[in-house]
Structure 1
């Protein structure tokens, strides 16, 4: 599950960066907002799934 969330996070980050190069105007804004929401959702889910008390040994 975590591997898939990391993959989604990285792909949405790359897509969000490239939207400014590929499109302009409303298309760029809509795709940037959508990929940004996906990025925030996967980052938040990864944060919720983190280890609460990691063992430092």
Structure 2
């Protein structure tokens, strides 16, 4: 599960960066919004599924 989340996070980041070079205007905003939401969601899921260690 964590491997899939890391993969989705990496792909979302790459597509988000590439969209600024490939698209203009509304298309770029829509692609960046979707990939940004995917990145935030997967980062949150990774944070919630982390190993909790006590000191």
TM-score by length of 2: 0.95
Larger radius of gyration: 1
Aligned to 2:15: 15
CA distance in 2, matches of 1:34, 1:13: 11
Gaps of 5+ in 2: none
Name the Cα RMSD after superposition.
1.3
Equivalences for residues 1-57 of structure 1 within 5 A: 1-53=1-53
Gaps of 5+ in 1: none
CA distance in 2, matches of 1:35, 1:50: 22
Structure with the higher fraction of residues in helix conformation:
2
Shift of 1:54: 6.5
Show CA shifts across 1:5-43 (max 9, x none): 000000000000000000000000000000000000000
TM-score by length of 1: 0.92
